[in-house]
Structure 1
Amino acid sequence: MQKNKSPILSRVFKLILLIASVTLITVVLQIIGVPKWITIFIILMLYILVMVIRPIYIIYRSKSLRTIDRYISNNHQKPIFGYAYAMAHGSKEDIEQTLKRIMNTYTQQDMRDIYGANLALFQRNPSTLLAHAKKITGQEYQDYYSGHAYVMNNNFDAASESLAKLHTPWMVHSLKAYAALKRGNQDDYRSEMNQSINSAVGMQRYILHHIMRRHDNGDFT
């Protein structure tokens, strides 16, 4: 899998930038006579903003694919980010390996079943997909992956029942897109997939975008 610039160099640059910023802010606050305890509080808040809040926002709320890609590229060694990175930059084998790595890394059963469902979906294995889906405790995720398994088996009536239970927009449109694709309706597929991407945020938006890009490039045919 092709790697972007060294994540170590990127982290070093960010650390240098953070230290320089903290130093500058500290000097400015001291010059204008801000009390020491307020200075410490401001620096602490800056650290939390940069190191904690910003990554959480990028992963779960950002709509900027470029920002998400930059963060994922710098953290692709971690299993979950490795899967997203492989979807954007790797081969089919890379995607499978990163999904298997997640399943082997995390002990939480739901994590194993959700990413196991993603692997089964990627491998077009409806029986394994449905088996994983039925074990997911989150009802909406269970219905979402079950619906995909039913579509894969051309059981559109059962898929429609699963679809009716979904409330999250990106899930609704993603399942509709897959059903349209299975029926051979490319126009409906693109329309629903675009709506799914537009209604998603963070890493989910990023992954959906690259699923559609790969389909357009013929990677999933």
Structure 2
Amino acid sequence: MNLSAPLLALRERPLLVICDYDGTLAPIVVRPEEAVPEPGAPEALAALLAGGRHRAAVVTGRRSAEASAFLNVPELQVVGLHGMEWPGETLHPPDTAALQVIKAALPHAAGMRLEEKGWTLAVHYREVPEPEQPALEAALARITPPPGWEVIAGKKVREFRPSGHGKGRAALQLAARFPDHLPVFLGDDVTDEEAFAALRERGGVTIKVGEGQTEAQHRVASPAEVVTLLRTWA
């Protein structure tokens, strides 16, 4: 483990630490319901919050209650559904008609799984045989979402959601709530890139977890190194 000195030194300033969940605070697994946190992650987040100096939040594509239950850190603010679901705010009713249109247009493949989140629909294909994945990706790309909807790509997943949200907007909203804190965003997925770009323009610190091209300024190897960073900052 070789974490850079500039990342470790961030603890000298009040931080707003914003983390993705899957692939950042928890290892990537085949089935989303089995994505338990990296050992030590909940405790590290709790320690970061305990002193009252730093702030922390999770911005995830999951429902906020699901990520909150995995982490079990009561003081932690969790923003769900890529920035649609905020603590203390009531979501508008889901667009069930649009979701039915999307479901009717989906291709079929052995191993493909649908994750219905009420307001969004994720199509997972990690269990589809690898030789068949490119054709499935192409078929998903040909689907035109209903007006006011968009499709975003993640690791072996395509998610259909209402437009106008995203982790970039959510990260900027959180940063605006805590203007005296240095915003730091940690994420591993394609959906985190918009947050990296948004916070870099604001002078924040962005950290990619794992491999792959990225807009982030820094990189760590795994959720285990994320836990080490959180502990150091705490």
TM-score category by the smaller chain?
under 0.3
* TM-score normalised by structure 1 residue count: 0.26
* TM-score normalised by structure 2 residue count: 0.25
Structure with more of its chain in strand, by fraction: 2
Higher relative contact order (CA 8 A, sep 6+): 2
